[in-house]
Structure 1
Amino acid sequence: MTISRRDVLAMGSGLAALAVAGPAAAAAKYTLRIHTLVKSPHPYNDMAAAMKAEIEEKSGGKIAVKIFDSGQLGQDPAVIGEMAFGTIDMMISTTSNAVQQIPEYGIFTMPYLFKGMDEALAKIGPGTPVHDHFEEVYEKRGVGMKLLALGVSGTRNMSTAKVDVTGPADLKGLKMRTPPSPMDAKTWAAFGMLPVTVAWGELYAAIQTGVAEAMESSLPGYAGSKLYEVAPHVALTQHTLQVNHTSISEVTWKKLPADLQAVVTEAAKNANALGVEKAKGYDAALVEDLQANHGVTVSRPDTQAFMEVLAPMQVGLAKDLDLSDEYALLKA
């Protein structure tokens, strides 16, 4: 039986007691609900499963964790709002879906910002100046969440409904789906594309009906949502790395004693490293599977041609979007 978002929120506080947690939480004092937006297989769900296992074990059963994937609890902006009230406890998701509440996250959709996933994690992971900066941003913005970890969960690539993309010229005039991120809109407009803001949960229908003709995403997100059915042309542009955040409700955080806060923090850090390794494996395996089993046409354009268009824009984009501090921190 699928539990609806309304049913979950009706259960009361995010730190629900045994009466609403079910038999699996028989000895638990706290129950944490983790939201992800994606369907498996996907690094976010692997990370959530790893956190569940570690938190339940290392808390000695004091914390039970329940995972709600595939957007069961709603789309990210609504979930962030619920977390401010403590009705949802944690989330693992892409930073690009949080730019309305945290505009500084827009820096991570800048094209060709990192050379690879390992370099990115070294720059932004727990314990880095970038992580510390975004902890402060959360407080400044008053979003009602605490940042536990920033990580990387794969490359983002271009997909289209009808066009094989072999170079930048193939993008001109296409209606390009973007999340609510000014960085994304400005990036794709540079290729002569027409940005159209569409929520992730509405993307399949948007491509199917022609509201959008092109999109970009991680490969696990593309495959998990069966977007190959409506956008069967993939170009491995690898224009950005998908940066994800693991965040916890401040209401939830303050209810946990210090020893259990430490357990949750360590679990998030460990899951973060796992997410990177899972992402590497998924990307390679998914390209092969999409071609062999789903009729997807995969092109491998010269990324240098895309970089020549976008790299000169980096400093200007950061300045225009008031992200110069974040850009300088990442390039330090």
Structure 2
Amino acid sequence: MTTRSTTRATTRAGISRRTLLASGAALSAVVPLCGILSRPASAAEFSYKMATGQDPTHPVNIRAQEALNRIREATGGRLDIALFPANQLGSDTDLLGQVRNGGVEFFNLSASILATLTPVTGIVNTGFAFADYDTVWKAMDGELGTHIRAQIAKSGLITASRIWDNGFRHISSSTREIRTPDDLKGFKIRVPPAPMLTSLFKALEAGPTPINFNELYSALQTKVVEGQENPLAIIATAKLYEVQKTISLTGHVWDGYWILGNRRAWEKLPADLRAVVEKELDRSAFEQRADIAGLSNSLQQDLSGKGITFLKADADAFRANLRKTSFYGDWKTKYGEEAWGLLEKSVGKLA
């Protein structure tokens, strides 16, 4: 990390760790690193907390726990970071406040929600911008990612240098089949409290309703909303298939998780401990990316077996529909020429 740059209770875990990682992106063994000091783990100089919003079986938490284990081992127990998954310490919006004021020292947050604090982070959620992962990592490990981290730093938070993968988002429904833009008109869809996603579905004439993730299952169950949109891994681990009938493979938005850190807590750590944290979080970022990329086929098979019907969506038709509106132009104005130029440098002309 640099000072320059940077979901639901465990009872809903559902799909097993083995199922989630059956894509072939097998978990690497946790190899103990040489301790920096021989101090026992029980004598931690620094005891920190990391919060996440994902269920324990999600690759985010599996890989985060591996990183925290390696950090404890490599620092000889000087730094002990405890993991609190599944919004145990509060909703995503609550935890964003906590990581800013020091209630938790580390927190992973999707770019879509971080945009409520640092607007430019939402540029990665631009509707139908990213066609594939090659394009995503070209942007996020390159100039666009560097630019975004610099803006996050201005809010007083620090970030890991590598963004983690939340995957491409798809639309699920309990009431209608979504294949074309016309199918979305008037559709009551839950979105996270994220400006870009709200704007996207308004432009497509749906009825987006911001709801925190820890309230999503009940909102679907009670038909407060007809559907929602999330990556397949989230739909699986949160057992949303129990209250939905179809998933349309729209891939309308890519989203990632930034590992955020409280600046004061980070600056208390000696340089050698910071270096270990940076190294191990970035290692787990690459491993978690591979996990998510490999999950698509296995999760489709698993979810089909649980009664979900998968539908193909016409991404070109959705993109063409958006170009008839002011959607791309409005967001270009909001983000500014520099950030928008860096996005289009990776994905091609949008507006």
TM-score between both structures, scaled by the size of structure 2 = 0.81
Q: Which amino acid aligns with 1:231?
A: Q
CA contact (8 A) 2:164 2:289 kept: yes
Distance 1:213 1:120, change over 3 A: same
Query: How much does 1:324 deviate?
Result: 4.1
Pick from 131, 136, 143: which aligns with 2:150?
136
Distance 1:315 1:166, change over 3 A: closer
CA contact (8 A) 2:201 2:208 kept: yes
Distance 1:90 1:311, change over 3 A: farther
Pick from 280, 301, 321: which aligns with 1:288?
301
Counterpart of 1:85 in structure 2 is 101
Pick from 57, 62, 70: which aligns with 1:54?
70
Sequence identity, in percent? 28
Counterpart of 2:233 in structure 1 is 220
Mapped partners of 1:225, 1:56: distance in 2: 29
Query: Mapping of 1:81-160 within 5 angstroms?
Result: 81-125=97-141, 128-142=142-156, 145-148=157-160, 149-160=162-173
Counterpart of 1:298 in structure 2 is 310
Query: How much does 1:115 deviate?
Result: 2.4
CA contact (8 A) 2:203 2:327 kept: no
Counterpart of 2:191 in structure 1 is 178
Mapped partners of 1:323, 1:37: distance in 2: 30
Distance 1:40 1:220, change over 3 A: farther
Counterpart of 2:320 in structure 1 is 308
Q: Which runs of 4+ in 1 moved over 4 A?
A: 311-314
Structure 2, unmatched stretches of 5+, are 1-8, 11-39, 346-351
Counterpart of 1:16 in structure 2 is none
Q: Secondary structure in 2 aligned to 1:37?
A: coil
Query: How much does 1:323 deviate?
Result: 4.7
Mapped partners of 2:244, 2:173: distance in 1: 5
Q: Deviations over 1:78-118 (max 9, x none)?
A: 11211122220111231112222111122121112222223
Query: How much does 1:283 deviate?
Result: 2.2
Q: Deviations over 1:236-264 (max 9, x none)?
A: 11111222111111121011001111111
CA contact (8 A) 1:178 1:196 kept: yes
Distance 1:323 1:284, change over 3 A: farther
Query: How much does 1:152 deviate?
Result: 2.4
2:50 matched to 1:34? yes
Query: How much does 1:25 deviate?
Result: 4.0
TM-score between both structures, scaled by the size of structure 1 = 0.85
Distance 1:281 1:311, change over 3 A: farther
CA contact (8 A) 1:166 1:301 kept: yes
Distance 1:46 1:61, change over 3 A: same
How many pairs does the alignment contain? Answer: 306
Mapped partners of 1:178, 1:284: distance in 2: 24
Pick from 272, 277, 302: which aligns with 1:259?
272
Query: Mapping of 1:159-174 within 5 angstroms?
Result: 159-174=172-187
Q: Which amino acid aligns with 2:320?
A: E
Higher RCO (C-alpha under 8 Å, 6+ residues apart):
2
Q: Secondary structure in 1 aligned to 2:317?
A: helix
Q: Which amino acid aligns with 2:174?
A: A
Distance 1:113 1:43, change over 3 A: farther
